[in-house]
Structure 1
Amino acid sequence: MSGQRVAIVTGASRGIGRAVAVRLAASGTAVVVGYAGRAEAAARVVDEITAAGGTAVAAQADVGDEHAVAATFDLAEKTYGGVDVVVNAAGLMVLSPIAELDLDDLDRMYRTNIRGTFVVAREAARRLRDGGSVVTFSTSVVALQFPTYAGYVAGKSAVEGITMILARELRGRQITVNAVAPGPTATDLFLDGKDEATIERLAKQPPLERLGQPDDIAGVVDFLTGPQGHWVNGQVIRANGGIA
Structure 2
Amino acid sequence: MDSGISFSWGQVITKLMAGESLAEEQASAAMIEIMEGAATPAQIAGFVVALRSKGETVDEVAGLVRTMRSYAKTVEVEGELLDTCGTGGDRTGTFNVSTAAALVCAGAGAKVAKHGNRAASSRCGSADVLEALGVAIDLPPEGVAACIHKAGIGFCFAPVFHPAMRHAATPRRELGVATIFNFLGPLTNPAGATRQALGVADPRMIDNMVSTLGRLGSTRVLAFHGDQGLDELATSGSSQVVEL
User: What TM-score comes out, normalization by structure 2 length?
Assistant: 0.38
Answer 1 or 2: higher relative contact order, Cα 8 Å, separation at least 6: 2
User: What TM-score comes out, normalization by structure 1 length?
Assistant: 0.38
